[in-house]
């Protein structure tokens, strides 16, 4: 009987809180619908999408995937360390999480600069309209995630911190959403067409 109560409690109070998970599902739905639209238009303009995809550097996309997955791994370790009351290790892993997030942004900036230098902006064609809108929207999420993680880090550093494990789990849930969105974007944008 207690097990059922615990299971029901976990459904209504997931790590990070129910509101965070509603936000995550809405974000995933939004990106999912945009990706479905991209695939639809990709079938309508197959040669344009293929030729445009060939202008992307899939090595950048692959490295960025590795950076975000590594960052997500360190986020998991940070939460686990905090749960075992090892606050200092949790902070160190949180710093690593943010470092790999910043590296993602740096490489994305290099990629964006390369596109803009040769005149490929948001209005270049349908493929690049989707590319810019989806990846820039994702970049905004990463920046927001880094701000959230930075505030969590500063909160944990305080001697008498008000930052709770629930706060850290909520930030982790948001950060993992950024990872998941990239795992949806990467194959469709960089590999599919």
CATH number at 145 reads: 1.20.120.80
pLDDT for 126? 96
The domain total for the chain is 1
Q: Which stretches of 45-86 are DSSP H helices?
A: 46-53, 58-83
Phi then psi dihedrals of residue 119, to 5 deg = 85, 20
pLDDT for 159? 82
pLDDT for 75? 97
pLDDT for 151? 95
For 48, 64, 76, 119, 124, the CA distances from 100, given in Å and listed in that order, are: 33, 9, 14, 29, 30
pLDDT for 128? 97
pLDDT in tens, the chain (193 residues): 444 545 555 556 666 677 788 888 899 999 999 999 999 999 999 999 999 999 999 999 999 999 999 999 999 999 999 999 999 999 999 999 999 999 999 999 999 999 999 999 999 999 999 999 999 999 999 999 999 999 999 999 988 878 888 889 999 999 999 999 999 999 999 998 7
pLDDT for 160? 83
Q: Which residue range(s) make up the domain with 183?
A: 2-192
Buried b / exposed e over 177-188, threshold 16 CB at 10 Å, is bbbbbbebbbeb
The total number of residues written for the chain in this structure: 193
Q: How many CB atoms within 10 Å of residue 99?
A: 14
């Amino acid at each position: 009987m207690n097990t059922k109560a615990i299971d029901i409690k976990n459904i209504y109070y997931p790590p990070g809180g129910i509101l965070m998970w509603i936000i995550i599902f809405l974000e995933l739905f939004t990106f999912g619908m945009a990706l479905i639209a991209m695939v639809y238009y990709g079938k309508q303009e197959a040669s344009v999408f293929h030729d445009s995809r060939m202008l992307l550097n899939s090595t950048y996309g692959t490295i960025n995937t590795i950076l975000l997955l590594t960052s997500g791994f360190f986020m998991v370790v940070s939460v686990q360390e905090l749960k075992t009351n090892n606050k200092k290790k949790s902070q160190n892993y949180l710093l690593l999480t943010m470092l790999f997030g910043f590296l993602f942004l740096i490489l994305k900036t290099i990629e964006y600069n390369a596109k803009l230098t040769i005149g490929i902006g948001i209005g270049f064609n349908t493929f690049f309209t989707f590319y810019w809108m989806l990846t820039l929207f994702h970049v905004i999420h990463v920046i927001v995630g880094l701000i959230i993680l930075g505030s969590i880090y500063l909160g944990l550093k305080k001697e008498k911190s008000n930052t709770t494990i629930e706060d850290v789990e909520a930030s982790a849930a948001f950060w993992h959403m950024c990872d998941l969105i990239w795992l949806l974007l990467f194959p469709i944008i960089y590999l599919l067409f």
